[in-house]
Amino acid sequence: MGEQTQTLYDKVGGEEAIQKVVDYFYSELVLKDPTVNQFFEKTDMEKQRRHQTKFISFALGGPKQYTGASMAKAHQGMNLQPEHFNAIAKHPHDALAHFGVEEKDIDQALNKVNTLRDDILYQ
């Protein structure tokens, strides 16, 4: 019998674990980062956390399909620059590492995030 392939979603602990990562991501990293925290001043953070949990779950191979706005549409009018993207992209790494996710798994997850760069910048 062959070993079943485990998704990153399952490997990190599923939706409950991802919710903890997302909470840490926003409360301890993003909202304390002066490079990007101004983009969240008028954001409903509970809604944002739910949305981000679904997005990350989907990106890690979880069962829920992401049905939110396209990345270009979600970031329209924000005129995000490379320094903003880089700051935000660093925080998932640190949040996942904080919860003991292995570096190779973090790299795999962040590779998916990096494919969205062109849809997010300069919108």
Grade residue 112 by pLDDT with cuts at 50, 70 and 90.
confident
Cβ burial of 52 (10 Å; 0-12, 13-18, 19+) is buried
Out of 30-44, 51-65, 73-87, the most confident range is: 30-44
Buried b (16+ CB within 10 A) or exposed e, 15-25: bebbbbbbebb
What pTM was estimated for this model as a whole? 0.83
User: Where do the domains of the chain lie?
Assistant: 13-120
CB-based contacts of 10: which residues, under 8 Å, 6+ apart? 61
84 is in an annotated binding site: no
What's the confidence (pLDDT) of residue 66? 66
DSSP single-letter state for residue 80? -
Give me the CATH topology for the region 13-120.
Globin-like (1.10.490)
Q: What is the pLDDT of residues 70-89, one digit of tens each?
A: 777 888 888 889 999 888 88
What's the confidence (pLDDT) of residue 75? 82
Question: Is the predicted pLDDT of residue 13 greater than 60, yes or no?
Answer: yes
Q: Measured between alpha carbons, how far is 123 from 4 in angstroms, rounded to an integer? A: 40
Question: Is the predicted pLDDT of residue 52 greater than 60, yes or no?
Answer: yes
What's the confidence (pLDDT) of residue 57? 85
Q: Measured between alpha carbons, how far is 92 from 21 in angstroms, rounded to an integer? A: 8
What's the confidence (pLDDT) of residue 1? 42
Q: Measured between alpha carbons, how far is 43 from 47 in angstroms, rounded to an integer? A: 8
Section 34-58 average pLDDT: 90
